[in-house]
Structure 1
Amino acid sequence: STRAGERGRRVPLTVCCCHCPMFRAATRGVRGTSSAADATAGCLSASATSSAAPPSAHPALSVCLIHPGAAPYMRWDARGPKMVKPRNIIRHWKIKPGDEVGVIMGKEKGKTGKVLATDALRNQVKVKGCNLRKIFWQNKWIYIEKKIHYSNVLLLDPVLRETTRVALRYTDDGQKVRISKKTGTVIPWPESKRRIINYEDKADGPKDTLPEDALARTYDYKKDVEMMRMIRQTMTKYNRDVR
């Protein structure tokens, strides 16, 4: 339905519908019956007489004229972040940030790039130059990489420069290595970007604690227990000895 807006414009009305939490609570147990139809008709008739209603693009995102307080809940996703189920968690990742991978499925199929980040909670990876999205950031439009599912990418063989499946093997000294199934070559792990600090060469700061001070024993458990026992003895009302 529409109403006459300013200067003769026809502004679409936003009416109460099944997406309104208030309406769902009022018609719980009577949906599909005549009672639910009467409730809907009442909301529609009351909405038609309202004078202020913003335009709506979709009923699920609309503002209910009868229950305006329900509008914030329509835009709130009660499901929360979508995490991978425990049974689908990848125990041993074969891809790490810094690896060269190729996309084998999806709209980005055939592209290659460097892995920027991995998400173990969602089984996804972020590949440089793949799955770009345009966003407005700092007064300009930029493109950022969105994540791709782990199963849609494969490592690149260092010899053929083609996507290949890999197998995890262990050396005699217990080191985990990746073996290409196409050529049998070892794919080296990327270098870790973690900052390694040599604390032996680092000068002590004003808030640092010396090792000998941290290891010094300053608490006597037996003395503390005896002190608490004496305090409780003097505070109890059944103690006749202490006056």
Structure 2
Amino acid sequence: MGWKAAQKLIQNWKILRGDNVMIIRGKDKGETGVIKRVIRTQNRVIVEGKNLVKKHIKQGQGHEGGIFTVEAPLHVSNVQVIDPQTGKPCKIAYAYQEDGKKVRVSRGVGASGSIIPRPEILKIRATPRPTTVGPKDTPRDLVMEKTYDAKSGKGMPDL
């Protein structure tokens, strides 16, 4: 799209891919959608079916040219996550539950303080983990072998 890299990158992202958000500024103000992609190098997000622009694409090998409608990125400050209980946009804070689990909580004016669950789409891995042992994998018996015992001093290097 030709965007420059952001001057000051957001270090701790509270908005995730798959979140239900409301656009609070711009031509689609007040509309809701799901985050399709997060572009962290530009502090931008792409909301599914929102902020549509016309793009002229030249014909090349393997694809046709023409005028296409594509979703343009929005700055992350122009969207807010929707509170699951009230249905209104809210800010996000992190809190720890009694069992020590870190969760996202809605906060701000009109927020219920309820837990905002992680999107289900994040649990799906793009490349599945291998289930078979490969030629470069360490055998299980070597991994489980105990090489150091603190009580007897076995495995301690001679200094």
Aligned to 2:116, which of 179, 187, 212?
187
Per-residue deviation, residues 62-95 of structure 1 (Å, max 9, x unmatched) = xxxxxxxxxxxxxxxxxx962222xx32121111
Matched, 1:91 2:11: yes
C-alpha distance in 1, partners of 2:50/2:88?
A: 17
Long gaps (5+) in structure 2: 58-63, 143-159
User: Which structure dedicates a bigger proportion of its chain to strand?
Assistant: 2
**1:197 Cα deviation (Å)?**
3.1
Percent identity among equivalent residues?
35
Per-residue deviation, residues 153-208 of structure 1 (Å, max 9, x unmatched) = 000111222211221112345433111121111010112132463433x375xxx4
2:61 corresponds to: none
Number of equivalent positions: 128
Aligned to 1:143, which of 44, 47, 69?
69
C-alpha distance in 1, partners of 2:114/2:27?
A: 30
Q: Secondary structure at the match of 1:133?
A: strand
User: Which of these two proteins has the greater Rg computed from alpha carbons?
Assistant: 1
Matched, 1:153 2:79: yes
Q: TM-score, normalised by structure 2?
A: 0.69
Matched, 1:167 2:96: no
Q: Using a 3 Å threshold, how does the CA distance of structure 1 residues 132 and 199 change in structure 2: closer, same or farther? A: same
User: Which structure dedicates a bigger proportion of its chain to helix?
Assistant: 1
Higher relative contact order (CA 8 A, sep 6+): 2
Q: TM-score, normalised by structure 1?
A: 0.47
Q: Secondary structure at the match of 2:22?
A: strand
